[in-house]
Amino acid sequence: MSSLAADLGAAARIGADERGGVSRFAWTQELAQANDWLMERLAELGLEVELDPAGNVLGRWQAGEGTAVLIGSHLDTVPRGGRYDGALGVLAALDVVRRLKADGVEPRRPLWVVSFNDEEGARFQTGMLGSRAFCGDCDLEDWSSRGVPEAMAEAGFAFEQLPEARRLHEVGAYLELHIEQGPVLERAGVDLGVVTAITGMLGFRARFLGEANHAGTTPMELRHDALAGAARAVLALREEARSRGDMTANVGVMGVEPGGFNVVPGATEFTIDVRSPTADGFARLEPFVREALERIAAEEELGLELRETHRKEPVALDPGLQELLEEAAGEEGASTLRLPSGAGHDAMVLAHHVPAAMLFVPSRGGLSHTPDEFTAAEYCELGARVLARVVRRLVE
């Protein structure tokens, strides 16, 4: 078994349940255990190791001069997630350092490995908290209302020290290896994906307000059914996304009040996630969502409350780094495909500030965020070798 495969297996046991899922959330014992394990591996390679004020793990190979090449991803997960999402990027970065050290490479600039904290945002809906703090983008007012200060204090961290995690000025480039989390590479029979851009994400929490009443005695034409309005909204979002090639839409959480089987729903609250990888497509997302829900509310005679919960602009990745990834893949005899990422990643935070790139390896069946998530060992190894080639060019 290779070192990378062994590391993937060891990390997958931390936070694992009996059904194969992995759960590691920000500021929990499970993630702390994974961080401790990673820091031990980094120290074994002779790196300077740090757990910063945002809970990011940093392993620094302080060599040469200038800004660092930063490589990594994240170790936190969604509830009952898989063993590859995020973790592969961190452990491949560890593997890159191991390869360069074995080859006797003497870097002319620093090389850092990072595991960003709370990329998924599963516990507090604070996605990419660690990378945002690293870049100096701390939304303390918002985060303080989500229970983050209390969780940090319990874990031995100080919320007010989050801004001290800013280290962006010490970084000159960022590279991240990741599973695709989609079916494109597998269906195309292509070995690796070179990411061109990361989709913009816009989130809302919507609430339709109707009138609760008896389901058997209230005539259909006199109902103010909040759930009926929400159902129409779900279908309207789906149809718009299907009609456009640059949009996805999803309603993933919904609550109905009062929740009786024989009661007309008086209120329905639900989340909306809409995405587009292009600037023009992203600009059309908010007007469409607002106009569609306002029209449905008027037609169904419902009240409407609509609140934006998050906004992350789409970002293009660095063309020069994309070319280096393609060249390195060719040297490994691997086929490549350029494609955008429909999922958000820490790379999109870094890419607004420094040259950044991502390399995808295929996901079996396109599955992710599930215990069934799987990428073959040969693709994990291939991705790590390509990453190592590019990093070597950047640091030698």
Handedness of CA 382, 21, 348, 98 (dihedral sign): negative
What one-letter code names the amino acid at 224? H
| Right CATH for 3-199+314-395 from 1.20.1260.10, 3.40.630.10, 3.30.420.300, 3.40.50.10310 | 3.40.630.10
Convert the pLDDT of each residue in 146-195 to its tens digit: 899 999 999 999 999 999 999 999 999 999 999 999 999 999 999 999 99
Under the banding of pLDDT at 50, 70 and 90, the label for residue 310 is: confident
Convert the pLDDT of each residue in 245-255 to its tens digit: 889 999 999 99
Convert the pLDDT of each residue in 38-78 to its tens digit: 999 999 999 999 999 999 999 999 999 999 999 999 999 99
| Residue ranges covered by each domain of the chain | 3-199+314-395, 200-312
Beta strand pairing status for 356-361 and 192-198?
antiparallel
Asked whether the predicted pLDDT for residue 1 surpasses 70, the reply is no
Q: What does the pLDDT read at residue 198?
A: 94
Domain 200-312, CATH = 3.30.70.360
Mean pLDDT over each residue of the chain, to the nearest integer:
96
Alpha carbon of 343 to those of 86, 92, 348: distances in Å? 12, 20, 10
The encoded tokens of residue 382 equal: 């291939």
Q: What does the pLDDT read at residue 126?
A: 87
Average pLDDT over residues 251-270: 97
- Tell me whether the CATH fold assigned to 3-199+314-395 matches the one assigned to 200-312: no
Convert the pLDDT of each residue in 16-27 to its tens digit: 999 889 999 999
Asked whether the predicted pLDDT for residue 320 surpasses 90, the reply is yes
290, burial (CB in 10 Å: exposed 0-12, middle 13-18, buried 19+):
middle
